[in-house]
Amino acid sequence: MLYREAGQFRSTYAEDMQIFPIRQDRIALMLLLAVGFVVVPMVATQYWFSALLIPFLIFSLATLGLNILTGYAGQISLGTAAFMAVGAFMAYNAQLRIPGIPILASFAIGGLCAAAVGIVFGLPSLRIKGFYLAVATLACQFLVLWTINRVPWLTNHSASGVIAAQKIEILGYTFDTPASKYLLTLSIVALMALAAKNLMRSETGRAFMAVRDMDVAAEVIGIPMMKTKLLAFAISSFYCGVAGALYAYCYLGTVEPEAFVLDISFRVLFMVIIGGVGSILGSFLGAGFITLVPIFLNLGTTFISDRFDIEISHALVSNMELITFGGLIIFFLIVEPNGLARLWQIAKEKLRLWPFPH
Amino acid sequence: MSVALHQHPRAHPVGEVLLSVENVSLSFGGVNALTDVSFDVREHEVRAIIGPNGAGKSSMLNVLNGVYHPQKGTIRLRGKSFHDMVSHEAAAMGIARTFQNIALFKGMTVLDNILTGRNLKMRSNFLQQALWWGPARREELVHRHAVEEVIDFLEIQHVRKTPVGRLPYGLQKRVELARALAAEPKILLLDEPMAGMNLEEKQDMCRFILDVNDHYGTTIVLIEHDMGVVMDISDRVVVLDYGRKIGDGTPEEIRGNQAVIDAYLGVTH
């Protein structure tokens, strides 16, 4: 009943082209931002910030990056973790070697270096597609980690290859508490998500989707294939690079190259698939599902065993969590192969008509 | 017949030669798809290419917009010749086309599909677009206006926000025509625009093609199997058979051409 667009008329194209043309959606977004920026910092505990919220936001950003490449431009990549590693290590080097550089500029440099690496490893996409491209991007994963391990300059000659992220300071304010790091991450993620949405609803996004859906037709109507594919790789890797820098500075603190193994690339790919291929919202839903559900399952099992005073072994608890998690993934993929974002969209369409079926 | 369907006087009378194909030969390995084909297309005319299956009609269209590169021969646009032109260069020169099997972007809405047709006219860069700022925003609005005009013209207002994958076949064909038209082409290449349509849809499509020709003055080159349609709407017809040109002329001349009758319309054995 509440979610109706009746009476909301749009009389100009500008109104029709808003990101959220329906008033209720705009109100909901404002509420969500208010909760994120004001309510959460007041109520959340240290544990919430550093174990739940910050990794959720960072993985949302990485998923957003991969979604631009895989979901919108249709190019499969398994190099996400490598792009994140480039972002993290180059942000570290920028901060280390350029005196007086603002931390946000270092993050941007990290992102730009990742974009450059992304363009290089995007070159095979001009010739190969699908699974073969995925395997080609796998090379990026191994080559980047190998380089970081072998070139001492990148880790500032640290013997173990581990770097310690410098402290984050913006305009004299030091971001050292989990809450302040959370707010910094949230701000960056929110702005970059807005930019991604704007890109995807304008010419660049349409060119990406055209290449994804029918590349021959895209070329015939004048979309340059090479530029479009490489731009997709560059933008996607930039997002992943910034996510990697945030992962190092706001989450891990001390970073070893092995923090960016292939496993992370797969996790981000699963987030894209479960959240919704080709959806900005889906990136957040997918990242939320994969980072938060295991923790809630853990809390749930602990709660049950405490409440009913059942003695459950630790091994059993962790195995139960894995089983439930796997089951949930299969359940959601069968119910809606297009991801959580599509489920949400169907729910909204139903809600607009409720209580009538049509 | 063609006289009857075109409005008189035509807003854009048939003019000078716009596009000429000179001695084009195309082969794939040992198979000759086109052999020494020459014809021309005049400005503002409706030019049909007909022929039995496998005659090389679609190959001819693919040569015209740079998807295939002929081994021999030249294509001249306004007297300027082109070799090994790639398809997005052809698009930039004002050649748009539709495909025999619909080649729409299935995951995008009708509106977005048609907007992609205007990509060559967009000037803002991706940074401006990411900020939805200044030129990028203005451009989106200007092109939305232009696209809405095409949508009105082809009468598809009711489906503008629908993903094209969900539309029936006849409407998809119309959306594809809209996407080609959005580019404001000089020459429009239509590969079997009426294939698989019922009589009513064919009549609609004929009307749209003639309207496009009349309203925008677009030169049209079309491949079609329905003889009634071809004879009714085209100014001149080229007939191909086994990759060779066997006839060229007005519908009346083609109707009386013995070689064409033998090869295409059939002879009694």
Sketch out chain B's domains with CATH numbers: 1-94+185-269 (3.40.50.300), 104-183 (no CATH)
Closest approach of A293 to chain B, Cα-based (Å): 30
Q: ipTM value of the model? A: 0.89
Q: Would the CB atoms of B132 and A202 count as touching at under 8 Å?
A: yes
- Counting Cβ atoms within 10 Å, is residue B59 exposed (0-12), middle (13-18) or buried (19+)? buried
Listed residue (A269, A264, A286) closest to A141, CA to CA: A264
Instruction: Give the closest of A217, A222, A225 to B120, CB-based.
Output: A222
Q: Would residue A155 count as lying in a domain?
A: yes
Q: Would residue A301 count as lying in a domain?
A: no
Q: Would residue A171 count as lying in a domain?
A: yes
Do A272 and A66 meet the contact criterion of CB atoms below 8 Å apart? yes
Tell me the DSSP string of B111-126. Answer: HHHHHHTTGGG----H
Q: Would residue A145 count as lying in a domain?
A: yes
Q: Would residue A308 count as lying in a domain?
A: no
Q: Would residue A240 count as lying in a domain?
A: yes
Residue B86 pLDDT exceeds 90: no
Instruction: Please write the tens of the pLDDT for every residue from B131-151.
Output: 998 889 999 999 999 999 999
Instruction: Give the closest of A213, A231, A235 to B105, CB-based.
Output: A213
Residue B108 pLDDT exceeds 60: yes
For the CA atoms of chain A, what is the radius of gyration? 22
The sign of the dihedral angle between the CA atoms of A149, A152, A153, A157 is positive
Closest approach of A188 to chain B, Cα-based (Å): 14
Q: Would residue A310 count as lying in a domain?
A: no
CA distance B85 to B93: 10
Instruction: Give the closest of B112, B117, B144 to A221, CB-based.
Output: B117
Which of helix, strand or coil describes residue B237? strand
Residues 6+ apart with CB under 8 A from B18: B41, B42, B43, B77, B78, B186, B187, B219
- Contact status of A119 with chain B (Cβ, < 8 Å): no
Q: Can you give the residue range of the structural domain that contains A238?
A: 20-261
pLDDT of residue B182: 95
Lowest mean pLDDT among A305-314, A320-329, B57-66: A305-314
Listed residue (A269, A244, A258) closest to A329, CA to CA: A269
CB count, 10 Å around CB of B79?
9
Q: Would residue A345 count as lying in a domain?
A: no
CA distance A164 to B44: 70
Amino acid symbol at A300:
G
- Contact status of A213 with chain B (Cβ, < 8 Å): yes
Q: Would the CB atoms of A220 and B91 count as touching at under 8 Å?
A: yes
Instruction: Please write the tens of the pLDDT for every residue from B202-236.
Output: 999 999 999 999 999 999 999 998 888 999 999 99
Listed residue (B236, B232, B181) closest to B203, CA to CA: B232
**Cα separations (Å) of A117 from A130, A150, A248?**
20, 17, 19
Find residues 37-56 of chain B whose CB sits inside 8 Å of chain A. Answer: none
Instruction: Give the closest of B67, B112, B145 to A206, CB-based.
Output: B112
Residue A100 pLDDT exceeds 60: yes
Listed residue (A249, A252, A283, A287) closest to A267, CA to CA: A287
- Contact status of A217 with chain B (Cβ, < 8 Å): yes
Count the domains in chain A: 1
pLDDT of residue B157: 93
Do A305 and A324 meet the contact criterion of CB atoms below 8 Å apart? no
